[in-house]
Amino acid sequence: MGISIKDLAKICHEANKAYCESIGDNSQVSWDKAPDWQKESAIKGAEFHFEGDMTPEQSHISWYRQKERDGWVYGPVKDVDKKTHPCMVSYNHLPEEQQQKDKIFKAICDSFKSWKI
């Protein structure tokens, strides 16, 4: 049995959406409605975790660097048009609820590592 990186990214995305809703953040859309840049970010995250045993902090650093390459900067509110995001800070400056998203993403990826991709 196998799973594609895209399918794994979709699972992570939907888990992130559910987690966000559990903390009162209803801004996330389903995978099918997500813009391509958001899907690509999840796919890159899934690929990153299959390179080795990455920590949630390393995952955040990878995400941060990709966002930075794409022109995103820190802003108190996530704004796709202005490319600002409140998580454009070091991992240890993220609120615990935001760190949990990286931990969940890693846990999901790790749970599929024994599957053929």
- Residue 115 DSSP one-character state: S
| For residue 1, pLDDT beyond 70 | no
Q: What is the pLDDT of residue 27?
A: 87
CB 68 within 8 A of CB 87: no
Per-residue pLDDT reduced to its tens digit, 33-74: 999 999 999 999 999 998 788 999 999 999 999 999 999 999
Per-residue pLDDT reduced to its tens digit, 11-23: 999 999 999 999 9
Q: Which residues partner with 45 through β-bridges?
A: none
- Residue 35 DSSP one-character state: -
Q: Which residues partner with 116 through β-bridges?
A: 2
Q: What is the pLDDT of residue 117?
A: 56
Render the burial of 74-88: b for 16+ CB within 10 Å, e for the rest: eeeeeeeeeeebebb
Q: What span, in angstroms and rounded, lies between the C-alpha atoms of 33 and 78?
A: 18
Band (pLDDT 50/70/90 cuts) for residue 110 is very high
CB 3 within 8 A of CB 108: no
Q: What is the pLDDT of residue 116?
A: 58
User: What number is the average pLDDT over the span 85-108?
Assistant: 96
